[in-house]
Structure 1
Amino acid sequence: MGHITQDTVPDLVVARNVTKNFGAVAALKDGTLSLRAGEVHALIGVNGAGKSTLSRVLSGHVRRSGGTLQMRGVDVDFSSPRDAMQHGVSLVMQETSIAPDMSVLENICLPRFGTRGSIQWRQMRARATEIIDELGQAAQISLTMRAGDLSMAQRQIIEIGRALQQDSDLIIFDEPTASLSPTEVSSLFAVMRLLRERGKALGFVSHRLEEIFEITDAVTVMRDGRTVEASVLTANLTPNSLVRMMVGRDIENLYERKHVAQKDLISRESVLTVRNLSAPPLVKDVSFTLYAGEILGLAGLVGAGRSETLETLFGLRKRDDGEVLLRGKRFAALSPENAISHGIGMIGEDRRRQGIIPDFSVTENLLLAHLGSDPGMRRNYKKHAEAIQNLLLELDMPGHVLGAPMLGLSGGQQQKVIFARWLLLNPSVLLLDEPTRGVDIGTRNVIYQIIREIAEKGVGVICVSSDFEEILGLADRIVVMSDGSSIAEVDSDLLDPEVLTMLSTPRSSARGLRKVLADVAQGAGGCAYWFQVEHDTVFCFDKTGDDKLMIGVQPNQFPLVENTCIPKALRELGRSELQIDDEMFSTISFPICNQNGHGFGYIGCSVARGSFNQSPSALRARLEASMREFCGEQLQVRQREEESLV
């Protein structure tokens, strides 16, 4: 944990006993929240607890029905989002409000368009460039790109950039990390820490407990429209105590599952085989096999082509090249309707844009897919009534919601309805893109159980998730994607989030590190490689230098330590000895870390035994100089534990 505000710091914004009614529905019954300058304050609770409604009251998106709202000790009543922004309050929403036909620059500067005076494009372009760079997206997002062509995660980044451009005193982040990978979350948190140090007040709504403990100073918990715990210091909480506050019970094992090992999967029927799939510009060369009853994870960072791969398989994108076999027969989805008729279902990452028709009832949304599969002009809703009731019971949803409009449900309930829609069709392949985006831990637990039960019935499931903890806990195998290509397939039990993050590093972004490896290999007179060892397994992410040195460590191969030619060197990582000799090779390894101090594996150098061109200290100095030149501040050589204790 980092920064903790002092009791002497005055409250910037205080909401007391706030209520909000939507017709006969009381979305807020007693919302109380205090936010201070220089503090990151979490607002948490299960879906439907009132978090987003209270956030929207604070930011002027809705008018409260009762209670009081003060800013800097003065009563306020924001009549609109613009009114709130003029008072220094911005909201980064879970469901993005991007103008799709406008550029990234225009979207970041959107609040400026309704103000008086001429627009200073040069200054705004310069500031927008700084913001995109601060968020670590300069290589992926240009200011001239059409916003509608961005992925969900990139659109979320633009929302955050818009708030930063406003330079607000209070920024409320409503699920900003829902579609971000660990690396992107780390970049966002670095910006949030910077804003906190500048004295900004930050509200943070998230369902990811690990994020709450990493970035927040205090927590307010809501349940059923009421604040049940206010301004509790995060340092005084544990994950279990926080879950109990939110849902009123313990959740012992969120990802409990019967893992199916890779060697056992290949004896099953392959329901989907993908070979060299290409759908430019974001899908370049993707290959994998999905087996019956398997949960296969597609992992990677924003821009890796994960979502676009699913969209191509479902007929939403035109396939340019490659081959797809569905239950052994060649298949090309000409359209989503064609894919559905062949037993393929898909849940997209953006509920509003891809999953629901907001003004339709729950029943109508449930049976949308049937409209394309049932012959004739009639809707035949009645024949599905029993199956729908059984599914609602299974999903822990009351039957009376069937006639309600979808917008009357919380985000988690909407996601359950979308799952139920596909379960009614009994698919053989189910494609899931960020299936738990924006849902609370209790609903996530239900969704995980549903996914596991689907797989146990023999359905092949492909899941995309930016939450590496989730994808590793849920999937049997992981297909790692980078820059539009599948680069590795690994049994999920062999991985952890740290290794998966390094495997997922875009090859375009790793060019600097590759130059480092080449320079160090030349200095050592052998080969150099970037690697990590987990569960006695060696993960090599890149390697260069003398190809004749067969040390048994190669990119995208995962040998056990004992099956390499340098087992002693790999077992003694982190020891004080810098040069370690095996039977045929001498090895020196250096631990490295990223700019946030998190471990980022090792740089290893191996030569024929006893033939290093440079001493260990000279080689380390060369590595440090090379990393400064080619990687800047992104990576650095970390001190070994023994050295840090001296």
Structure 2
Amino acid sequence: MAFAETDRAVIAQLSDITKHFGAVKALNGCHLTLKRGEVHALIGVNGAGKSTLSRVVAGHIAKTSGSYAFNGEQALFASPRMALAAGISIVMQETSIAPDMTVLENIALAEFGARGRADWRAMERKAAAALDFIEQPRAMLSKRAGDLSIAQRQIIEICKALYNDSELIIFDEPTASFSPLEVEQLFSVMRLLRERAKSMVFVSHRLEEILEITDMVTVMRDGSTVAAGVPTQSITSRDLVQLMVGRDIQNVYDRTLAPAVRGGASSPLLDVRHLAAAPLVHDLSFTLHRGEIVALAGLVGAGRSEALEAIFGLRKMQGGELFLNGRALKPTSPIDAIRAGLGMIGEDRRRQGIVPDLSVEENLLLAHLGRSKAVHTDYGKQTAKVDALLRELDMPAHTRDVPMLALSGGQQQKILLARWLMLNPSVLLLDEPTRGVDIGARSTLYRIIRKVAESGVGVIVVSSDFEEALGLCDRIVVMSDGVSVAEVPSNVLDPAILTMLSMPRSSARQMKGVLEDVSKAVDATAFWVQVEGGRAFCLDLVEPRPLALGIAPNRFPLVDDTALRVLLAPDAADGAVIHDGAITSVKYRLTNASGHAFGEIGISMPSPGDDRLERSASAIAQSLLKHDIAHIRLAADPTGHQETVHEQ
């Protein structure tokens, strides 16, 4: 029986929660109210504090201050086991199953930590009841857990929670590596849990999933709650992005926005074509010119860092090609990349960059060992260059002999940058170059990076800080789910639009199939587009023959500068066949099952056009079903044929 709306009651109440890790405030004034029979989204950009707050709720870490009540009583969880005993479980993105044990043994795993003999019959009855609760087959119990799919492993984690009588289940990025079909399987289970009065917290970057499955939304930013308990039905994806980004962006990078390509019409310095590198990079293409700073922007899991590692020879390429100065580049190790003229600063400077027991000078000169084939390296010849670089980095000369661990994080990052400048690279790869760096050191690093680019070096930056990516870089390559989905000058974007473009779209591959079906059915160009801020953001395009529409996945023109200015106008009606000069078009707005906007599908052909466009709505609807994305639908079914003629 479905859980009645009137039966909803507060199960957990967190108010003014703070969490300090030393001098760092990870949480600062967080509020969260959870109710029975509710799926509650907890969202925010990278580093907003979502996982930290989730871990406080689940007893993994203790709050520094604030109040936390669970089931009407003060929650004083000193360990995850205490929270589990109270009825709280957390399902992590990476499941914690024991692969060589059976599903039954995994579900009842907590029993093996108890004293006395295990009652296998009782455990099997209880585990079977957990599977019954979410309508899963009991036959799973005897299977080896390691043989199951990722989605089925998540089902095991949910059954663990049910086995332990959990009333509140936290899902932390559960769908990050799911196929669309697996997502729908998980959502079916979550709906059953909701009907059976279980409460859930859903932590995710995927806006389409949040709008699809959740009842309420709480938004976090910089460790604080900025919107608490907002009904999902009352908010749009654009609203969510603005709450996540939160503030007007000012140009604090002290530079004039550069043209899209500093090198003009010159050939690329680095040409990346359809790069694939397991497990996260599937199809990445972009170019880098001399003197240009390009950002690989995306969310955690998009494959940004893995792409840099593949280019630098740290990760094996499964597909694609690299060209440096027009010549094929096939680095099988970092030494190959260094000798070709590449340098890289990794995301984790302690693990990937510095040797803590060596001095600053020794760390500075480490890269010479990779480039030089000589048996001996005369470091003495580099002293003058080291001193000059230290002055450029605003660091005193005596720093040469100081151990690396004696430096601050910002100073260590400066040294890592200087290490590669010693080698005069042609391409510099920077992964999160200002992570954990104070604003003063950031300013120096930005100045050095710009100066390096002005000398003709091509720079690729990976940054989770979208303000930084837009302020520092000339051009943005947007990555989502391991694929480059856009390549655009930074002055065209703002953080809100960049965040929206970066959001993983689990339906993107199926939508490509829909466009291909519709294009074939009506023999016309089909496109998936979203209009934001007066610009046409083309999410995908199938063009059987050239048609000058002025849109493309790697372009973000003003709507008025395209051949679709009438079609994409705010007052253009769904299903209206529009004759606009040489182009005849029709469009249909898309929504998900909750009624939230999902962009628009448009179909265009050369004028005068014919009745093929009248059949397009039916073709779209049939193809959505065919590709198993029935949760996306036409916003309205046109009841009659309309025509609009626009004279150029």
Are the equivalent residues in 2 in contact too, given 1:516–1:627 (CA < 8 A)? no
Residue 36 in structure 1 maps to residue 33 in structure 2: yes
Alignment identity in percent? 27
Contact 1:591–1:640 (CA<8 Å) still a contact in 2? no
TM-score (normalised: structure 2): 0.60
Q: Distance in 2 between matches of 1:543 and 1:276?
A: 18
Match for residue 291 of structure 2 among 293, 296, 303: 293
SS in 1 for 2:417: helix
Q: Does 1:637 align with 2:634?
A: yes
Residue in structure 2 matched with residue 81 of structure 1 by the alignment: 80
Cα shift at 1:454: 1.0
> Partner residue of 2:460?
462
Aligned partner of residue 37 in structure 1, secondary structure: strand
* Aligned with 1:530 (options 511, 527, 530): 527
Distance (Å, rounded) in 2 between the aligned partners of 1:192 and 1:599: 24
Q: Give the match's secondary structure for 1:265.
A: coil
Q: Is the counterpart of residue 422 in structure 1 residue 417 in structure 2?
A: yes
Equivalence for 1:314: 312
2:12 maps to what in 1? 12
The correspondence for 1:580, drawn from 578, 581, 584, is 578
Distance 1:30 1:538 in 2: 35
Contiguous gaps of at least 5 residues in structure 2:
113-117, 137-144, 232-238, 397-401, 641-648
- Aligned counterparts, 1:156-171, within 5 A: 162=157, 166=161, 168-170=166-168
2:109 maps to which of 83, 107, 113: 113
Question: Which one-letter code corresponds to 1:603 in the other structure?
Answer: G
The answer on 1:620 being equivalent to 2:617 is yes
- Partners in 1 of 2:356 and 2:602 — Cα distance? 57
* Aligned amino acid, residue 575 of structure 1: A
Instruction: Write the mapping of 1:401-440 to structure 2, written as runs, cut at 5 A.
Output: 403=405, 417=412, 421-426=416-421, 428-433=426-431
Q: Describe the SS at the equivalent of 2:526.
A: strand
- Give the deviation of 1:580 after TM superposition: 1.8
In the alignment of these two chains, the number of paired residues is 567
In structure 1, C-alpha distance between the alignment counterparts of 2:427 and 2:603, rounded to whole Å = 42
Counterparts of 1:111 and 1:419 in 2: how far apart (Å)? 49
Specify whether residues 386 and 297 from structure 1 end up closer, same or farther in structure 2 by C-alpha distance, changes over 3 A only.
closer
Give the equivalent residue in structure 1 for 2:511. Answer: 510
Distance 1:28 1:162, change over 3 A: farther
CA contact (8 A) 2:107 2:160 kept: no
Per-residue deviation, residues 46-80 of structure 1 (Å, max 9, x unmatched)? 98x99987765654445689998754354555443
- Could you say what secondary structure the match of 1:262 adopts? coil
State the SS of the aligned residue for 2:510.
Answer: coil
Could you tell me whether the CA contact under 8 Å between 1:278 and 1:322 is conserved in 2?
yes
Cα deviation, 1:440-460, whole Å, max 9, x if unaligned, reads: xx9699759845751343142
The 1:353/1:126 distance shift into structure 2, 3 A limit, reads: farther
Which SS does the other structure have where 1:457 is aligned? helix
CA distance in 2, matches of 1:385, 1:583: 66
SS at match of 2:633: strand
The answer to whether the 8 A contact 2:27-2:223 is kept is no
Q: How does 1:478-627 map to 2 (within 5 A)?
A: 478-479=476-477, 489-494=487-492, 496-497=497-498, 500=501, 508-514=509-515, 516-518=517-519, 520-521=521-522, 526-532=523-529, 539=538, 541-543=540-542, 547=545, 550=547, 552=549, 558=555, 566=563, 569-570=566-567, 572=569, 574-576=571-573, 578-595=576-593, 597-606=596-605, 608-609=607-608, 611-613=610-612, 616=614, 619-627=616-624
Whichever residue aligns with residue 529 of structure 1, its letter is A
SS for the counterpart of 2:272 is: strand
- Deviation sequence 1:316-369 (CA, Å, 0-9, x none): 1234676544456654433224434655343556x4996478xx8598899767
1:178–1:307 distance in 2 versus 1, CA, 3 Å = farther
Per the TM alignment, residue 273 of structure 1 is displaced from its structure 2 partner at its CA by: 3.2
How many angstroms apart in 2 are the aligned matches of 1:538 and 1:573?
15
Compute the displacement of 1:314 (Å): 0.9
Point out the structure with max Rg over C-alpha.
Answer: 2
- Check the 8 A contact 1:12/1:201 in 2, yes or no: no
Instruction: For 1:586, give the aligned amino acid.
Output: T
Structure 2 distance, partners of 1:537, 1:51, is 32
TM-score by length of structure 1 reads 0.60
> Compared with structure 1, are the counterparts of its residues 416 and 599 closer, same or farther at alpha carbon in structure 2 (3 Å cutoff)?
farther
Q: What is the CA-CA distance between 1:590 and the residue it aligns to?
A: 2.0
Instruction: Kindly provide the amino acid, as one letter, of the partner of residue 161 in structure 2.
Output: Q
Please tell me the root mean square deviation across aligned C-alpha atoms, in Å. 6.8
TM superposition shift of 1:537: 5.9
Q: Indicate conservation of the 8 Å contact 2:512/2:540, yes or no.
A: no
CA-to-partner distance for each residue in 1:237-284, whole Å, 9 max, x for gaps? x99x9999x9xx997457886332235433578543335656578767
Q: Please state whether the residue corresponding to 1:273 is helix, strand or coil.
A: strand
